[in-house]
Amino acid sequence: MKCPYCKQDLVKGHIQTRGEVLKWLPYDRQISRFELRWKVRDEDIRLGDYKFWHGGDVDAYCCPNCHKIIIDYK
């Protein structure tokens, strides 16, 4: 796969968490200290799979040239 920014080869890998869901949030929303770590609100986008005991995990492609990460979330 090629980087859409610089056209160099991307390196396949993954991003993972321990014990919480990995999600994208709108810029103006902050996670409350008391919010459940596995809750995803309507305005959030869950990235990848989530398992209660293992956390979140999503495949990602990294461009070592321009320092971008590409994620397909569905």
Contacts of 35 (CB under 8 A, 6+ apart): none
How do residues 16-42 score in pLDDT, each as one tens digit? 887 777 788 788 877 767 666 667 777
pLDDT value for 40: 74
Q: What is the mean pLDDT of residues 49-68?
A: 84
Q: What is the pTM of this model?
A: 0.72
pLDDT value for 2: 96
pLDDT value for 37: 66
- Asked whether 45 and 73 are in contact (CB, 8 A), the reply is yes
Domain extent listing, the chain: 11-71
Buried b or exposed e, range 54-73, using 16+ CB within 10 angstroms = ebbbbebbebeeeeeeeeee
Give the percent of the chain with pLDDT over 90: 34
